[in-house]
Chains A and B, each alone.
Chain A
Amino acid sequence: MFRVILQSHWNWSKLLLGPGVVAAFALPILSVQQINEPGYADWSPWGTAGLLRDVESWGIWYAALAAGLGLAIATSAWGSDHRGGHVYALSLPVERWRYVLFRYASGAVLLGVPILSFWLGALLAIASIDLPDSLHAYPTELAVRFALASLVAFTVFFAISAGTMRTAGYILAVIGGLLVAQLLLATAGAGVDPLEYVVDRLTSWPGPFEVFTGRWMLIDV
């Protein structure tokens, strides 16, 4: 059973997964290209600080790719079912929880491919440069962060797209409601910022989205 679910998921996601794997491999390599340029390797304290700032600026791309992959794999997990209005899946002799688990697991398996390629890219990137003793490379740690971010994104989007249009609508309505509240309170000058509070709670540890907002450092002290 799992095999056909994985196959079906692969069929739905391969168009996006291909470029995703390439991007995952390329990003870490691209991020260290500057270091190999002649004249860049100025290992003075100011030079090092500059390097670290450059490295940190790539964080947004890693986060975006992780979120994008999570979204792509999640929506392709349920593509087949949405076509038939879930009637087909409900008619199959498999418990609902098991079916959902199979679909989730197949997504996790498929995510493994770009994660692996990211890790390889990071390792290759580090292998191609020379770092002074004051700096260290963290390719594996970065890959782990990437993996976690992708999984978190996948899980969230999976849950949203598993539901009906109605549940997706509810979630979007909640977000929309928060934005509206934000706007109203801001114009009223109340000094209360609900959106920032919610976002803050979610994105700093122990919030689930901390993995996205933390520092994505391939090279650090």
Chain B
Amino acid sequence: MSNAIETRGLEYRIGRSFEIRDLALNVPEGSIYGFLGPNGAGKTTTIQLLLAMRRARAGSITVLGKRVPQEITAVLSRTGYVPERPHVDPSLKIDEALRFHAAFYRSWDDKEGERLLAQFDLDRSRRIKRLSKGETGKFLMVLALAQRPDLLLLDEPTDGLDPVVRREVMTAVVDYVSQRGATVFISSHLVHEVERMCNWIGVMDKGRLVSEMTTDSFKSGIKRLRVTGAPQSMADPPFVLLSRQPSEGVIEGELWVVRGWQAPMRDYFESAGARLTEVTDLDLEDGFVELLRTSRSRQPLEGR
């Protein structure tokens, strides 16, 4: 199984501070990849680098098997892009914008465009500047989907949209994947939305890729443990210790957040004379927050 998107050692900088550093993305073909990260992590910049809208200082980018930016035109003809902010001329009517867009893509499907417009309840004769935020979001998705791309690059496609529109848009994306087996790369800070749809997760923070794995691995591995009587330093844990803090509130002990937990690891605590009283699952959002907290506190130590 090859990667639809692959970057190696990607570096990008504005001014003197590093914006993106040593980025190694691996987006498997046919996956729905959730690109998570707090605001300012560099997610939009990364997408712009993938589309050759910005030029990297170092590293390589391969999208759909082609080098970027050398073969960018070939890549763009098979990529549907929904940016964070609308990029189409707002003075156009929906009809005009569709026809303009269609002229550039050989794979454009008029009937699909019609069907999606009807599904989203969009009127062809309306001007884009008169559309509501939700309608604009839906329209941008129509442009991207009617193209029948092999790769969908969605930059916060549902940000600021109400739940009803969000569902409409995401259902259309899922439906498209069912039909075409396309790869979807969706950047978002709405973790719950991503949790449902994505089978791969990449977490970005402060210009670096902090974690990249399947959603199931990410979720099954991360647990919160309640531990009592553990000595200050405990040697060689079989799991990855993400954080360790005294528990707040009435119940005593410490709260450990670990990754890669498996049930037999209880013995580790017992042999150290500690007691493990509780194992809680963390959902994706909790896991995401813990991961960020850890990676940020680690950075100065590792000299990154």
Chain A interfacial positions (CB closer than 8 Å to B): 1, 3-4, 7-8, 11, 79-81, 83-85, 87-88, 90-95
Contacts and interface: CB of A to CB of B under 8 A. Distances in A.
For the complex of A and B, the 8 pairs showing the least CB-CB separation, nearest first, are A93-B77, A93-B76, A87-B87, A88-B87, A4-B103, A80-B89, A84-B87, A83-B89
Interface string B79-112: 0010100111111100010011001110000000
Contacts of B73: 93-95
A221 B81 CA distance: 63
A11 B100 CA distance: 12
B145 to A, nearest CB: 15
28 contacts: A1-B103, A1-B104, A3-B103, A4-B99, A4-B100, A4-B103, A8-B100, A81-B89, A83-B90, A84-B86, A84-B88, A84-B90, A87-B53, A87-B83, A90-B51, A90-B52, A91-B51, A91-B53, A91-B76, A92-B76, A92-B104, A93-B73, A93-B75, A93-B77, A93-B104, A93-B105, A94-B104, A95-B73
A72 B77 CA distance: 32
Contacts of B87: 84-85, 87-88, 91
A186 to B, nearest CB: 41
Contacts of B74: 93
Contacts of B83: 87, 91
Nearest to B81: A91
B209 to A, nearest CB: 24
A101 to B, nearest CB: 14
Interface of B: 51-53, 73-77, 81, 83, 86-92, 96, 99-100, 103-105
Greatest chain B CB density within 10 A among A1, A4, A91 is at A91
A147 B259 CA distance: 73
Contacts of B51: 90-91
A84 B103 CA distance: 19
Contacts of A83: 89-91
Given A87-B87, A88-B89, A91-B51, 13 more contacts: A1-B104, A4-B100, A8-B96, A79-B89, A81-B89, A84-B86, A84-B90, A87-B53, A87-B83, A91-B87, A93-B77, A93-B105, A95-B73
B71 to A, nearest CB: 11
B133 to A, nearest CB: 16
A47 B51 CA distance: 69
Contacts of A80: 89, 91-92
A88 to B, nearest CB: 4
A87 B51 CA distance: 10
Contacts of B96: 8, 11
Contact of A90 (B53, B75, B105): B53
A92 B97 CA distance: 13
A80 B87 CA distance: 10
A7 B92 CA distance: 12
Contacts of A90: 51-53
Nearest to A3: B103
Greatest chain B CB density within 10 A among A3, A7, A93 is at A93
A141 B271 CA distance: 102
B156 to A, nearest CB: 15
Contacts of B88: 84, 88
Nearest to B103: A4
A84 B143 CA distance: 15
A1 B105 CA distance: 9
B232 to A, nearest CB: 54
Contacts of A81: 89
Contacts of A4: 99-100, 103
Nearest to A12: B91
A152 B212 CA distance: 55
Contacts of A1: 103-104
A94 B96 CA distance: 19
A96 to B, nearest CB: 9
A85 B100 CA distance: 17
A88 B92 CA distance: 13
Contacts of B81: 91
Nearest to A81: B89
B43 to A, nearest CB: 16
A4 B103 CA distance: 7
A79 B74 CA distance: 27
Contacts of B103: 1, 3-4
A79 B105 CA distance: 22
B168 to A, nearest CB: 23
A84 B81 CA distance: 14
Contacts of B105: 93
A86 to B, nearest CB: 9
Nearest to B75: A93
A181 B90 CA distance: 42
